[in-house]
Amino acid sequence: VSIRDVASAAGVSVATVSRALGPNAESVQMKAETRRRVLQVSEELGYRPNDLARALSQRRTSVLGLIVPDISNAYYAGLVRGVEDSASTAGYRVVLCNTDRDLGRLGQYLDTLVKSRVDGVIIAGGATESSFDARVFHQYPTKIVMVGRHELSGPSVQIDNIGAAELVTHHLLDLGHERIAFLAGPLSSRTIQDRITGYGNALAARGIDRDDDLVWEGELSEESGYRGTRDLLFRADRPTAIVCANDRIAVGVLAMATDCGLNVPEQVSVAGFDDVSISSYLRPRLTTVAIPTYEIGTSAAGLLLEQLETTGLDSPAGRGGEEVLLLPTQLIVRDSCAAPPRPPRAAVG
Amino acid sequence: VSIRDVASAAGVSVATVSRALGPNAESVQMKAETRRRVLQVSEELGYRPNDLARALSQRRTSVLGLIVPDISNAYYAGLVRGVEDSASTAGYRVVLCNTDRDLGRLGQYLDTLVKSRVDGVIIAGGATESSFDARVFHQYPTKIVMVGRHELSGPSVQIDNIGAAELVTHHLLDLGHERIAFLAGPLSSRTIQDRITGYGNALAARGIDRDDDLVWEGELSEESGYRGTRDLLFRADRPTAIVCANDRIAVGVLAMATDCGLNVPEQVSVAGFDDVSISSYLRPRLTTVAIPTYEIGTSAAGLLLEQLETTGLDSPAGRGGEEVLLLPTQLIVRDSCAAPPRPPRAAVG
DNA sequence: TTGTAAGCGTTATCAG
DNA sequence: CTGATAACGCTTACAA
């Protein structure tokens, strides 16, 4: 059942049907009676306009592409949710892509997205110019907004990971800790790099040399936190506090601590990152840094939609300005951090 | 840059370009030299075929719709991931929709999906015939597969929630518990209903009357588990074990238990549902039922793709058979359940 | 082996 | 206010 069926059934031309049901139906002059009839017939026939044809004709699909490393990660799930919400209320659909942090897949996805002529794409989780054929990309009017720091030009929404890490680390420092470990995720992630940097900065600000043995590279998983902690705890001069690159890692740390009979925070302090929903239901309640993932999503979508409304669809590589939205982060102090067990000893070689 | 640009740049007709680059490029007879030239020119120009036009012409979009209650829920995140993985390896894109368990939104999404002419859609999280205009839907060749029990006809993938709940409950019963509470999610969810049924069945099988005061309706959140437990624990004749509708609820239960100074499992046993990644890192490690969410996703996608390959695209309402894939569930016994504190007392009025 | 031309289902321009 | 009709970009008989 196509527009033509409706047209003939209503005894009008396809043009009229299009006017009655089309994109800017309300801002079109036509006899009320005619419109009513078209509407009714279309209703009776169960007519659903073909968006493909419409898009082809209008040169806009009302579809957004969203590329993330992994939706099954709570962090990105919130973001996806935010994007989806604002996109759909603005009348856009969103197609989802998982890269698994594989730059090759990123490139492939960007390619399919361009082929399907999405109006814009949001890339979260890091991308480099080399990860896709930017030259090709710029031939099409597809708009981009990035989430997080990146090597690409164009608008983006970011959070101050460096500052956030400085915040937690200072919190621990203020409590009297001097040997503070950092349980990181994959160092290839820009986010992780930044968090490590912030951690280092805070240490440096207190005149403490960063001990590379205290920075442990792993995954963003409980398992990784569990193993990393074991490593750290069996050291001669073990840390009195552990900052984790995310809350899942922190859960692993907590598990290992209780398995070793170590009390948190009395014997070792633990801090996380992200403030996922369980964090306040762990015992001890986890001190962590809240990241507004949902807002990151809505902001990114907002930035993109703004470009789409603003810019004419023809402007070839017109990727808007370099507008950067920096979203605030918040230290959530709960119960998992306290003063170190003994008064800080003299610095050891 | 369109097919015509490539054609003229290569000095051939658009048909030739289409043959060289089109859908069944390999199964087409043409002079190798010509093909090579087309390929090269298309490469130089950075040509990306317009999938919209292709879809319009071929009457298939290679897009799947996926409708879930909420991706930011770990359960669905796994499922989404599974769907996305098998779809993308089969060359399909997937557009994601969140209903928030709102039947109205479900209907709207189904509508947009039909308009965008997706080849098929996967609906997870419950739908009723009344939630959308099935009559309309059947006019278009869109295929459907459902996840979970539902009132719609057609293929689906399900898990045996009833059996699963029976399993945990029996586990507790075997341990000697007689007063077992159930902390449920929204009773409107079919999944929840089934889990409650299973719980009831197990009780009945042991000749225990189901006490409706022990079934607590709430959300699928930690918060809900926390509050529900408080309710339950302040009862005169309080339960010795609590089965939770999912692991997040169980986390809340654990939190309340330690806040009350109650030891798990010595004083009260707790069991969850889903086996999310943190479950084995809680202390005590959480006994729960593993649901293969990722496999549910891949299976659903598989069922759908199968229909798409099999069926001619014209078969109007041909929604395949009633094939139902029942995925296995597994009781994961860990440390959060043990025998009740005192020997079971005589049944109380 | 390759080119011509008729769709695919809309929208939009231009007359009437 | 409404009706033809030319795009939109690609695929696919049908011819050459």
Which DSSP string do the residues of B39-76 spell out, in sequence order? HHHHHHHT----HHHHHHHHT---EEEEEES-TTSHHH
Q: What is the pLDDT of residues B44-54, one digit of tens each?
A: 999 999 999 99
Cα Rg for chain A, rounded, in angstroms?
A: 26
Q: What is the pLDDT of residues B273-321, one digit of tens each?
A: 999 999 999 999 999 999 999 999 999 999 999 999 875 544 444 445 6
Is the per-residue pLDDT at A192 higher than 60?
A: yes
- Does strand C come within 7 Å of the CB of B16? yes
DSSP 8-state class, residue A61: -
Query: What is d(CA A262, CA B283) in angstroms, rounded to the nearest whole number?
Result: 13
Dihedral angle, C-alpha B168, B169, B172, B176, nearest 10 °: -160
pLDDT of residue B21: 94
Instruction: Quickly count: other Cβ atoms within 10 Å of residue B141's Cβ.
Output: 21
Pairing relationship of beta strands B269-271 and B241-244 according to DSSP bridges:
parallel
Instruction: Quickly count: other Cβ atoms within 10 Å of residue A207's Cβ.
Output: 6
pLDDT of residue A210: 92
Provide the CA B83 to C1' D15 distance, Å, integer. 45
Query: What is d(CA B61, CA A64) in angstroms, rounded to the nearest whole number?
Result: 16
Residue numbers 46-85 of B with CB closer than 7 A to any atom of strand C: 53, 56-57, 59
Query: Percentage of residues in chain B with pLDDT exceeding 90?
Result: 75
Say which residue, A129 or A293, is predicted with more confidence.
A293
pLDDT of residue A222: 97
Among B52, B47, B108, B98, residue whose Cα is nearest residue B76: B98
With CB atoms and an 8 Å threshold, state whether A80 touches B72.
Answer: yes
- Does strand C come within 7 Å of the CB of A3? yes
Query: Percentage of residues in chain A with pLDDT exceeding 90?
Result: 75
Is the per-residue pLDDT at B169 higher than 90?
A: yes
Beta carbons of B163 and B336 less than 8 angstroms apart: no
Residue A116 tokens read as 């399907």
DSSP-based three-state secondary structure for A167: helix
Query: What is d(CA B172, CA B117) in angstroms, rounded to the nearest whole number?
Result: 49
With CB atoms and an 8 Å threshold, state whether A251 touches B49.
Answer: no
Residue with tokens 């409650």: B196
With CB atoms and an 8 Å threshold, state whether A56 touches B50.
Answer: yes
- pLDDT band of residue B75 (cuts 50, 70, 90) is confident
Query: What is d(CA A334, CA A207) in angstroms, rounded to the nearest whole number?
Result: 27
Among B34, B40, B46, residue whose Cα is nearest residue B2: B46
With CB atoms and an 8 Å threshold, state whether A52 touches B49.
Answer: no
Residue with tokens 């069945």: B201
Residues in chain B closer than 8 A to A78 (CB atoms): 72
- Our measurement of the distance from residue A23's CA atom to the centroid of its chain's CA atoms, rounded to an integer in Å, reads 32
Among B202, B209, B260, B194, residue whose Cα is nearest residue B231: B260
Find the CB nearest B1 among A74, A139, A254. A139
Is the per-residue pLDDT at A347 higher than 60?
A: no
Residues in chain B closer than 8 A to A259 (CB atoms): 283
Query: What is d(CA B63, CA A219) in angstroms, rounded to the nearest whole number?
Result: 32
Q: What is the pLDDT of residues B219-278, one digit of tens each?
A: 999 999 999 999 999 888 899 999 999 999 999 999 999 999 999 999 999 999 999 999
pLDDT of residue A235: 87
pLDDT of residue A318: 45
Q: Which residue is nearest to nucleotide D13 (CA to C1')?
A: B15
DSSP-based three-state secondary structure for B158: strand
Query: What is d(CA A99, CA B83) in angstroms, rounded to the nearest whole number?
Result: 14
Residue numbers 50-79 of B with CB closer than 7 A to any atom of strand D: 50, 53-54, 56-58
With CB atoms and an 8 Å threshold, state whether B61 touches A52.
Answer: yes
- Does strand C come within 7 Å of the CB of A176? no
Chain D footprint bases within 7 A of protein beta carbons: 1-5, 7-13
Is the per-residue pLDDT at A133 higher than 90?
A: no
Among A320, A278, A285, residue whose Cα is nearest residue A302: A320
With CB atoms and an 8 Å threshold, state whether B93 touches A116.
Answer: yes
Beta carbons of B239 and B209 less than 8 angstroms apart: no
Residues in chain A closer than 8 A to B219 (CB atoms): none
- Does strand D come within 7 Å of the CB of A8? no
> What is the average per-residue pLDDT within B86-104?
90
With CB atoms and an 8 Å threshold, state whether B71 touches A49.
Answer: no
Cα Rg for chain B, rounded, in angstroms?
A: 26
For testing the chain B interface, which of A79, A279, A283, A314 should be mutated: the one with the most B CBs within 10 Å?
Answer: A283
Is the per-residue pLDDT at A127 higher than 70?
A: no
Provide the CA B14 to C1' D15 distance, Å, integer. 16
Q: What is the pLDDT of residues A38-87, one digit of tens each?
A: 999 999 999 999 999 999 999 999 999 999 988 878 889 899 999 999 99
Residues in chain A closer than 8 A to B51 (CB atoms): 112, 115-117
> What is the average per-residue pLDDT within A20-28?
89
> What is the average per-residue pLDDT within A236-262?
96
Query: Percentage of residues in chain A with pLDDT exceeding 70?
Result: 93
Dihedral angle, C-alpha A172, A174, A179, A185, nearest 10 °: 30
Mean residue pLDDT of chain A comes to: 90
Q: What is the pLDDT of residues B185-223, one digit of tens each?
A: 999 888 999 999 999 999 999 999 999 999 999 999 999
- pLDDT band of residue B343 (cuts 50, 70, 90) is low
Provide the CA B113 to C1' C14 distance, Å, integer. 34
- Does strand C come within 7 Å of the CB of A83? no
Nearest nucleotide relative to B33: CA against C1': C1
pLDDT of residue B211: 93
Pairing relationship of beta strands B288-290 and B330-332 according to DSSP bridges:
antiparallel
Residues in chain A closer than 8 A to B135 (CB atoms): 46
- pLDDT band of residue B341 (cuts 50, 70, 90) is very high
Q: Which residue is nearest to nucleotide D1 (CA to C1')?
A: A30
CA distance B202 to chain A (A): 30
With CB atoms and an 8 Å threshold, state whether A140 touches B48.
Answer: yes
Q: What is the pLDDT of residues B101-135, one digit of tens each?
A: 888 888 889 999 999 999 999 999 866 666 777 77
Lowest mean pLDDT of A209-223, A332-346, B65-79, name the range: A332-346
> What is the average per-residue pLDDT within A243-247?
97
- Does strand C come within 7 Å of the CB of B128? no
pLDDT of residue A73: 82
With CB atoms and an 8 Å threshold, state whether B96 touches A84.
Answer: yes
Find the CB nearest A96 among B94, B116, B226. B94
